[in-house]
Amino acid sequence: MNAKSNLYRKEKIYGFLFILPPLLGLLIFTLYPMIYSIYGSFTDWDGLGQMNVIGLSNFADLWSDELFHKALFNTLFMMLGIPIGITLALLLALGLNRGVPGTTAFRVIYYVPVISSLAAVSIMWNWAYNGDYGLVNQFLDLFGISGPNWMANKYTVKPALIIMAVWKGLGYTMLLYLAALQSVSRSYYEAAELDGANGFQSFRHITWPMVRPVTFFIIVTNIIGGSQIFTEMNIMTPTGGPEYASASVVFYIWQKAFGNFQMGYASAMAVFLGVFIFVVTLIQFRMNEKQSFDVD
């Protein structure tokens, strides 16, 4: 008995020791800075002088800051790419799931943009969106459409970024759906067919509910990722685009924090972003709980 409890005590010590590095990392590099961000958001922190607590005045300024509103609107607007990407990816996955020849090759090709460096891809699309010589407008030319100078036009710069984001992320979403589709048992479809269900009905009542957890996962991760969009605008529109039409929230935070040294103000935006992500994730989890059901 004594030997056993001794063994257990040793296990407690080693067990804790082995998880200590990531736990310390979490405390030092995530939790402590996060608490500091929250504190900083209530101060006039400028990175040099003393930090004075100024209450909610940063948040009050955010309320009336037009550039922040624009950045927030742009960030939300660009999330329109999420449903587009999900729809296309699901269609592709349904197609690939039927066992057409070349499935492996298609998977690899659609996945190449995902592994490509976002910086390189942004540079490439920036050139592809060139008004006179870009690939996109030359393609549109084939159909007699004369395309705009995408990145310099305040109405087209966001759609241009959405197209690029869908292109870049499609392979990833498709892969997740494909894995989910492959785990759906054939017997459901056979039973539905016997009951006289058509293709659409099978999709509506079997496929869609069965891939629901994956859809949920994709929406949550895409919203979290989409609300932090930065690299594209930093490379393609270094000034935030025509009339700030392509600046994102993180782009604005970055400008304020490391360009203007308004650390307190930037922290307030960062806190806002963190709360936004937290709330969205929470809502998503609640909705998923309510609507999910077991087929078994």
Partner 1 sequence: MTSRRRITHTIIFVLLSIGAVFMIGPLLWMLSTSFKDKQDVFALPPVWIPNPFHFDKYSEIWEAGPLLSGIRNSLIIAVTVTIVGTFTSSLAAFSFSKLRFPGKNKIFLLMLSSLMIPYPAVMIPQFFMFSKLGWIDTLLPLIVPGLFGNIVMIFFLRQYLSSVPNAIIEAAKIDGSSYFRLYSSITFPLIKPAVAAQLILWFMGIWNDYLSPIIYLNSPEKQTLQLVIANFNATYAIQTDYPLIMAASIIALLPMLIIFLVFQKQIIESVAISGVKG
Q: Which of 14, 63, 155, 208 binds partner 1 (CB under 8 A)?
A: 14
Six-digit token string for 143? 């159909």
When asked if residue 143 is in the footprint of partner 1 (CB under 8 A), the reply is: no
Distance of alpha carbon 131 from the chain centroid: 28
Q: How many residues bind partner 1 (CB under 8 A)?
A: 98
Runs of H (alpha helix) within 27-80:
32-40, 57-64, 66-78
- Separation CA 189–CA 181 (nearest Å): 12
When asked if residue 123 is in the footprint of partner 1 (CB under 8 A), the reply is: yes
- Separation CA 226–CA 285 (nearest Å): 18
Residue closer to partner 1, measured from CB, 130 or 156? 130
When asked if residue 89 is in the footprint of partner 1 (CB under 8 A), the reply is: no
CA 163, 277, 229, 222 torsion-angle sign: negative
Q: Considering only 29-37, 55-63, 64-72, 184-192, which stretch makes contact with partner 1 by CB under 8 A?
A: 29-37
Q: Which of 98, 144, 186, 195 binds partner 1 (CB under 8 A)?
A: 98
When asked if residue 95 is in the footprint of partner 1 (CB under 8 A), the reply is: yes
Q: Least distance in Å: CB of 158 to partner 1?
A: 19
Six-digit token string for 26? 């979490």
Q: Least distance in Å: CB of 261 to partner 1?
A: 10
When asked if residue 32 is in the footprint of partner 1 (CB under 8 A), the reply is: yes
Binding mask 155-194 for partner 1 (x = CB under 8 A): ------------x--xxx--xxxxxx--x-----------
State which of positions 47-66 bind partner 1 (CB under 8 A): 47
Q: Least distance in Å: CB of 29 to partner 1?
A: 4
Phi, psi of 248 (to 5 degrees): -105, 175
Please count the residues of the chain: 296
Q: Are 78 and 84 in contact (CB under 8 A)?
A: no
State which of positions 266-285 bind partner 1 (CB under 8 A): 266-267, 270-271, 273-274, 277-278, 281
103-115 and 157-182 are packed helices; what angle lies between their axes, rounded to 10 degrees? 140
- Separation CA 26–CA 33 (nearest Å): 10
Q: Least distance in Å: CB of 193 to partner 1?
A: 12
